[in-house]
Structure 1
Amino acid sequence: MIRNLRRAVRRAYRRTVDLSHPARSPLGSAVVNCVGYTDGVRQAGSCPAEEALRRVRKENSADPAGSSFVWIGLHEPTHEEFTGLAELFGLHPLTVEDAVNAHSRPKVVRYDDTLLAVFKTVGYAEHDQLTATSQVVETGEITVITGRDFVITIRYGRHGSLGPLREALETVPDQLTKGPSSVLHAVADFVVDEYLAVADAVQDDIDAVETAVFSEHAGRGDVGRGEAGRIYQLKRELLEFKRAVSPLNRPLESLATQPALLIAPEIRPYFRDVSDHLARVNEQINEYDSLLDSILQAHLAQMTVAQNEDMRKITAWAAIVAVPTMVCGVYGMNFEHVPELRWTYGYPVVLGVIAVSCFVIHRGFRRNGWL
């Protein structure tokens, strides 16, 4: 069932033209959608939150075993816009604070009869060529507030639209009959699947940098300095990726293993699957970080070797030039009695000695690999 749901999410994504800027509904500037569900089936039409909540509570009171709930989607609400919903659903003040203040640490916290989950969304920033200033990952945030008969999702950032996810869930009514916790699982699964996709894309950038570092001209001149900048940029972007992923380990593990009042027992095994995928992403990030460290060390070693080779060449040429410098320095002194100074063949003999000496020294350096 989960595999089918993931396929449906991908199909919905392909049908979505623009995920970054969802259409605003007449319910308000921040409300993207407000829908009620009864026995896993979406209720017809869209209505204000008060009316939707009144309907599902009326249905649940008539059928104590019912699974009706309302799902409200928001995009970057202000404190004033969210206050009305908070009063309507009786949310804890700390829930309101976490919901309207973006850039919270990923977590899962229970406040009274509500469960608040904060997820960091990660998207891959497309670029033609990785440079020392390229953005590799983009981060956003999704907050999910679940109660007994409602779900409130709040999205921050330009990516991570939940519209395709909602469409995919509506094709699997049996999953929605498990209540608001099914939406919480679907959002967690959606976010972690995006982590996997971004991790695969980042691996391509790392492979490109690794190939460039071990190329024929690596470690020389401006090319070598540029590779070091690219490696550091990848490490910075990978650190941002890690900050979004790592804090979710313990919350997802607790949802998968520990009984929770607001999590249906049938949903708990699905969280274990999401937790396993998250562990895989964490392993990939740690491996990438270690690999980048190794690539950086190899690159610095290449730079050092290249500099040593240059210094050896400079030293060898300096040694060759030292011979004529010494001879010319001796014969350039203004003493009257210098040996062979008045000899007819003195000049060509001195030039010959200089040439032969330089040739022998050059031959020796070439034989030893210095030139």
Structure 2
Amino acid sequence: MTRSRVYRAGRLEAEDFPPSELTRYLADPDAVVWLDFTEPTEQDLAEVAQALGLHAIAVKDAVQKHQRPKLNHYNNHGLLIAYETSINAKTGALHAQELAVFLTKQALVTVGKSSNMSMDAVTERWDEEADQTAAGVGYLLYTVLDAVVNSHIDSLGVLDDLVEQLEDAVFSESPTSMSLQKRSLRTHKSLNGLRRKVSPMHDILNSLLRRENPLYTADMMPYYQDVLDHVLYANEQVESLRDLITTIHDTQVNLQGNRMNLIMKKVTSWAAIIAVPTLITGVYGQNVPVPGTDHVWGFWLSTVAIVLASIGLYTSFKRKDWL
């Protein structure tokens, strides 16, 4: 356990206490406890699991990595899995920090599955809005979810900038540019990864907003509704950016096809121009008598025919924009 706090009536009464004192604090019905763990094992959570009556499956899911975002309900508690995300503005790579949260009537237990996971921003908000902590676990959970969803929106903002850069690059760079294709695929991959983290949050918030939810309080509903609105906005942004990337890819493919058609058109036109001299010289290369053979005027006649036919074809193709 890395950090712990006890709130009573909106006041911070104790901090960084050992797990052995958890049962004593929970004996007070007015106390609200927060515990924070970083990369724990099932053995590390054993004492807390016994004090809070946590289900063995819930403890296992909280420890194992790469869980799907979800909210599972058990007899006297719930387990929420969510991801805090960030995007590298240079590479477009997605970084996701997995977070498990145990929910009980009096306790909130956060389990960071990565050493990079930090709850500092959340605890700073608790300190700034000390009066709101009187709402208990419902408010503590709200701030955690709000931080998670805000990280999704921040990530989408970075991806939006990257997609705009791709839109500009489609026409400023060569359609066959490998750099453009790599950036496009990398951005698309990060967006799909973010979509898997954002999309399930809608069901999680809907579940928390139900009246049969043990943590339901009318006072906290506007806060959770605000987070749900942010989730809906994030989902809309994800789908919009996916459509944009698809459009960018289709545009790039069309540009490549148009470029290939232009090249084939030019090659075909030059082949047609070259075919005329080849035809004329081929006729005079036959081993049969041809008018003008062994005469100077025959040479000049074939030469003039080659020049005039080539100029005529070139002018015709140029007028049709084939060259």
TM-score (norm 2): 0.93
Q: Verify: 1:172 aligned to 2:121, yes or no.
A: no
Cα–Cα, structure 1 residues 275 and 84, in superposed 2: closer, same or farther, change >3 Å? Answer: same
Structure-1 separation of matches of 2:76 and 2:286:
100
Q: Which residue of 2 aligns with 1:277?
A: 230
Whether the 8 Å CA contact 1:189–1:274 is kept in 2: the answer is: yes
* Shift, 1:136, TM fit: 2.7
Which of residues 84, 89, 92 is equivalent to 1:126? 89
Does 1:57 pair with 2:26? yes
* Worse-matched range after superposition: 81-90 or 91-100: 81-90
Summarize the Cα distance change of 1:53–1:180 in structure 2 as closer, same or farther, 3 Å threshold.
Answer: farther
Matches within 5 A, 1:137-176: 137-157=94-114, 159-176=116-133
CA drift of 1:277 comes to 0.6
Q: Per-residue deviation at 1:135?
A: 4.4
Q: Trace 1:1-150 onto structure 2 (pairs within 5 A).
A: 31-54=1-24, 56-60=25-29, 66=30, 68-127=31-90, 134-150=91-107
Q: Does 1:358 align with 2:310?
A: yes
State the match for 2:254 in structure 1: 301
Distance across 2 between alignment mates of 1:188 and 1:271:
9
Give the alignment of 1:177-188 within 5 angstroms: 177-188=134-145
Listed as ranges, the matches of 1:239-258 within 5 Å are 239-258=192-211
Contact 2:84 2:99 (8 Å CA) reproduced: yes
Quote the Cα distance in structure 2 between the aligned partners of 1:318 and 1:274: 66
Amino acid at match of 2:204: P
- How many angstroms apart in 2 are the aligned matches of 1:314 and 1:159? 58
8 Å CA contact retained: 1:53, 1:69: no
- Tell me if structure 1 keeps the 8 A contact 2:5–2:17: yes
Gaps of 5+ in 2: none
Partner of 2:271, secondary structure, is helix
1:40–1:173 contact (8 Å) kept in structure 2? yes
Q: Give 1:95 shift.
A: 1.3
Give the structure 2 partner of residue 205 of structure 1. 162
Measure how far apart 1:258 and its partner are.
Answer: 2.8
Aligned length: 323
- The alpha-carbon deviation at position 354 of structure 1 amounts to 0.9
Deviations 1:24-60 (CA, angstroms, capped at 9, x unpaired): xxxxxxx221222222222345220121441x23443
**Aligned-partner residue type, residue 57 of structure 1:** L
The CA distance in 1 between the partners of 2:250 and 2:5, in whole Å, is 55
% same residue: 28
The CA distance in 1 between the partners of 2:32 and 2:143, in whole Å, is 15
Inter-partner Cα distance in structure 2 for 1:157 and 1:182: 24
**Alpha-carbon separation, structure 2, partners of 1:357 and 1:157:** 76
Counterpart Cα distance in 2 of 1:152 and 1:353: 92
Tell me the residue number matched to 2:298.
346
CA RMSD of aligned residues (A): 1.8
Q: Deviations over 1:166-222 (max 9, x none)?
A: 12112212211111121111111110111111111110011000111133x542xx3
- The 8 Å contact of residues 257 and 268 in structure 1, kept in 2 or not, is answered as no
Structure 1: distance between partners of 2:145 and 2:44: 25
Q: Name the residue aligned to 1:264.
A: 217
- Listed one character per residue, the Cα deviations across residues 44-95 of structure 1 (whole Å, up to 9, x for unaligned) are 45220121441x23443xxxxx2x1221111111222222321232211121
* Residues 144 and 45 of structure 1: CA distance in aligned 2, closer, same or farther (over 3 Å): closer
Question: Partner residue of 2:243?
Answer: 290
Residue 330 of structure 1 pairs with residue 283 of structure 2: yes
Q: Give the conservation status (yes or no) of the 8 Å contact 2:4–2:15.
A: no
- Amino acid of the residue matched to residue 323 of structure 1? V
Q: Distance in 2 between matches of 1:295 and 1:262?
A: 45
1:42 is paired with a residue of what secondary structure? strand
Gapped regions of structure 1 (runs ≥ 5): 1-30, 61-65, 128-133
